């Protein structure tokens, strides 16, 4: 069991201030005055750590970055305008035209489209394989793939990767390993498992309130003598390595944030900090709720899919590697689009929206919304069927949720 007490103490204590206003400060200024021409020069050269201009970051975002880096035991963090912006930041800062990214397992529709359609337009190719295709994974790494990307839990296909094994392979072949940990903050700590970069859509359970769009990149501590990054395939970032501990921050900010402007705004960072204060309590409650709801829906004869069930292909991995649970996502197979619509429309508790990780229980028919423009082949890869409903379980009473879903299922199956 995770030491939630540690995080219950760490997060509110770090986010709150002991003097003056105890809530985090919002600094909404887009520009910042410099004390002198000399100071301006020092800020621009990176010798002085003071705000430069909000596209490069602002003090509220910097506070959030410090908290997230501590939570993940990382070397630093950069917050962004959205989760997609965080992924884009890593790709555009660290890769070049002609590079390949190995994408393992299931993906949120936006990430799949980014890797499958958008990045290829700029010469960066996404290669796709299943979570257990270790033959293909090793082959791609042997051929010089520069980066590997996977979600800690496939959203919504709920496949569970063996992150440690993938990290070991990436380290052996000197490929960067980026994990999208949006669904499992605190539950999974990818940097401790050997990953190089963690990204979050903080819009989800980190905030919990659906009031702030945001994202974050958190990276492992690197040194000037970093063996992996000194590999010739990373030669374009070698000039940054002389900055030592500050190198990854400089790479992300100078090669992505400065030029593409995927910057977080201060108000969103403030709202995200408020969510973070109660994250451990909510993660624990959601995981407990998910296991109860899934079990009761299963017993009621509903076609529910989740790794906590014995019939799931990754049940054993769930027990071994996800002892605390695997976050809020659960799926229900209704058989047809009509039945899925009827189920969602008959539920009184499920809020139909394209988000997950909210304090409320959310639901969405996948094929007609996020995946509506995807080809049959792509939907097959991602496990999207006509009758698939994704649920994101919230903080409510699990029994009340089950009662509601059972009555909705009965109406849908009439
Ligand atoms: N990663 C995952 C796993 C997601 O579910 C989402 C959004 O649904 C994203 C990334 C993108 O995040 P955002 O909507 O904040 O851009």
Q: Which atom of ligand 1 is nearest to the CA of 85?
A: 16
- In angstroms, rounded to a whole number, what is the distance separating the alpha carbons of residues 370 and 109? 6
Residue 169's φ and ψ, nearest 5 degrees, are -65, -40
- Classify strands 362-365 and 176-180 as parallel, antiparallel or unpaired: unpaired
Q: How far is the CA of 214 from the centre of ligand 1 (A)?
A: 9
Q: Which atom of ligand 1 is nearest to the CA of 203?
A: 15
Q: Where are the alpha helices (DSSP H) in 242-324?
A: 247-252, 258-260, 266-277, 279-299, 315-321
Q: How far is the CA of 216 from the centre of ligand 1 (A)?
A: 11
Peptide bond into 156 cis (omega under 30): yes
Residue 46 is predicted with a pLDDT of 87
Give yes or no for residue 92 CB within 6 A of ligand 1. no
Of 43-52, 69-78, 165-174, 278-287, the one with minimum mean pLDDT is 43-52
- In angstroms, rounded to a whole number, what is the distance separating the alpha carbons of residues 198 and 182? 9
Say if residue 287's pLDDT is above 90: yes
In this predicted model, what pLDDT tens digit does every residue of 18-38 receive, in sequence order?
999 999 999 999 999 999 999
In this predicted model, what pLDDT tens digit does every residue of 372-393 receive, in sequence order?
999 999 999 899 999 999 999 9
Residue nearest to atom 12 of ligand 1 (CA): 83
Give yes or no for residue 201 CB within 6 A of ligand 1. yes
Exposed/middle/buried for 335, CB within 10 Å: 0-12, 13-18, 19+?
Answer: middle
pLDDT grade, residue 3 (50/70/90)?
A: confident
Average pLDDT over residues 342-371: 98
Say if residue 2's pLDDT is above 90: no
Residue 1 is predicted with a pLDDT of 58
Residue 78's φ and ψ, nearest 5 degrees, are -130, 125
Give yes or no for residue 82 CB within 6 A of ligand 1. yes
Residue nearest to atom 4 of ligand 1 (CA): 108
Q: Which atom of ligand 1 is nearest to the CA of 87?
A: 10
In this predicted model, what pLDDT tens digit does every residue of 335-351 receive, in sequence order?
999 999 999 999 999 99
Residue nearest to atom 13 of ligand 1 (CA): 83
Average pLDDT over residues 135-163: 97
Say if residue 125's pLDDT is above 70: yes
Residue 252 is predicted with a pLDDT of 97
Same fold, 4-275 and 279-412: no
Q: Which token pair is 386?
A: 């006509």
Q: How far is the CA of 108 from the centre of ligand 1 (A)?
A: 7
CA 366-374-105 angle, to 5 degrees, is: 75
Give yes or no for residue 24 CB within 6 A of ligand 1. no
Average pLDDT, the chain: 96
CA 318-133-125 angle, to 5 degrees, is: 115
Q: Which token pair is 54?
A: 């909000």
- Class (C level, CATH) for 4-275: alpha beta
CA 137-153-281 angle, to 5 degrees, is: 145
Residue nearest to atom 15 of ligand 1 (CA): 83
Mutational pocket test of ligand 1: of 87, 90, 155, the residue with most ligand atoms within 8 Å of the beta carbon: 155
For 364, residues 6+ apart whose C-beta sits below 8 A from its C-beta are: 344, 352, 353, 354, 370, 389, 390
Give yes or no for residue 108 CB within 6 A of ligand 1. yes
Q: How far is the CA of 201 from the centre of ligand 1 (A)?
A: 5
Q: How far is the CA of 271 from the centre of ligand 1 (A)?
A: 17
- Classify strands 100-104 and 147-151 as parallel, antiparallel or unpaired: parallel
Task: Give the rounded percent of residues in the chain with a pLDDT score beyond 90.
Answer: 97
- In angstroms, rounded to a whole number, what is the distance separating the alpha carbons of residues 188 and 167? 13
Give yes or no for residue 158 CB within 6 A of ligand 1. no
What residue spans define the domains of the chain? Answer: 4-275, 279-412
Mutational pocket test of ligand 1: of 159, 201, 382, the residue with most ligand atoms within 8 Å of the beta carbon: 201
Give yes or no for residue 358 CB within 6 A of ligand 1. no
Which of 191, 190, 198, 140 shows the shortest CA–CA distance to 169? Answer: 140
Give yes or no for residue 150 CB within 6 A of ligand 1. no
Q: Side-chain half-sphere of 332: how many Cα atoms within 13 Å?
A: 34
Give yes or no for residue 155 CB within 6 A of ligand 1. yes
Mutational pocket test of ligand 1: of 110, 269, 362, 371, the residue with most ligand atoms within 8 Å of the beta carbon: 110
Q: Which atom of ligand 1 is nearest to the CA of 214?
A: 15
279-412 topology per CATH: 3.90.1150
**DSSP state letters, 100-148:** EEEEES---HHHHHIIIIIHHHTT-EEEEE-TT-HHHHHHHHHTT--EE
Helix (H) or strand (E) holding 80: strand 76-80
**What pTM did the predictor assign?**
0.97
Instruction: Identify the residue whose tokens are 């498992």.
Output: 193
């Amino acid at each position: 069991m995770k030491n939630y007490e540690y995080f219950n103490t760490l997060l509110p204590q770090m986010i709150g201030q002991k003097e003056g206003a105890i809530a985090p400060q919002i600094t909404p200024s887009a520009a910042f005055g410099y004390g002198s021409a000399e100071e301006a020069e020092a800020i621009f050269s990176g010798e002085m750590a003071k705000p430069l201009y909000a596209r490069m970051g602002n003090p509220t975002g910097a506070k959030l970055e410090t908290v997230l880096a501590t939570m993940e035991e990382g070397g630093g963090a950069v917050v962004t305008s959205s989760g997609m912006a965080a992924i884009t930041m890593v790709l555009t800062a660290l890769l070049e035209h002609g590079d390949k990214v190995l994408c393992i397992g299931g993906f949120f529709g936006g990430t799949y489209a980014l890797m499958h359609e958008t990045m290829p337009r700029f010469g960066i190719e996404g290669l796709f394989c299943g979570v257990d295709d270790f033959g293909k994974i090793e082959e791609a790494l042997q051929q010089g793939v520069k980066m590997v990307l996977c979600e800690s839990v496939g959203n919504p296909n709920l496949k569970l990767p063996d992150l440690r094994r993938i990290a070991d392979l990436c380290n052996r072949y000197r490929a960067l390993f980026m994990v999208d940990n949006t669904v499992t903050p605190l539950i999974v700590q990818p940097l401790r498992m050997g990953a190089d970069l963690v990204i979050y859509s903080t819009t989800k359970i980190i905030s919990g309130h659906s009031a702030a769009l945001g994202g974050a990149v958190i990276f492992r501590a690197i040194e000037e003598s970093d063996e992996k990054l000194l590999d010739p395939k990373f030669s374009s970032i070698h000039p940054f390595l002389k900055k030592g501990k500050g190198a990854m921050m400089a790479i992300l900010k100078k090669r992505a944030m400065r030029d593409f402007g995927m910057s977080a705004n201060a108000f969103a960072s403030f709202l995200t900090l408020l969510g973070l204060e109660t994250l451990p309590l909510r993660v624990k409650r959601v995981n407990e709720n998910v296991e109860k709801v899934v079990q009761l829906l299963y017993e009621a004869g509903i076609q529910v899919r989740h790794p906590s069930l014995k019939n799931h292909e990754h049940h054993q991995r769930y027990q071994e590697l996800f002892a605390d649970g695997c976050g809020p996502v659960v799926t229900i197979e209704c058989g047809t689009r009509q039945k899925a619509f009827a189920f969602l429309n008959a539920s009184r508790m499920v809020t139909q929206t394209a988000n997950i990780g909210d304090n409320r229980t959310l639901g969405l028919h996948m094929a007609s919304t996020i995946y509506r423009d995807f080809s049959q082949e792509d939907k097959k890869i991602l496990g999207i069927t006509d009758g698939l409903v994704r649920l994101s379980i919230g903080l409510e009473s699990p029994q009340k949720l089950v009662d509601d879903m059972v009555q909705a299922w009965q109406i849908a199956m009439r």
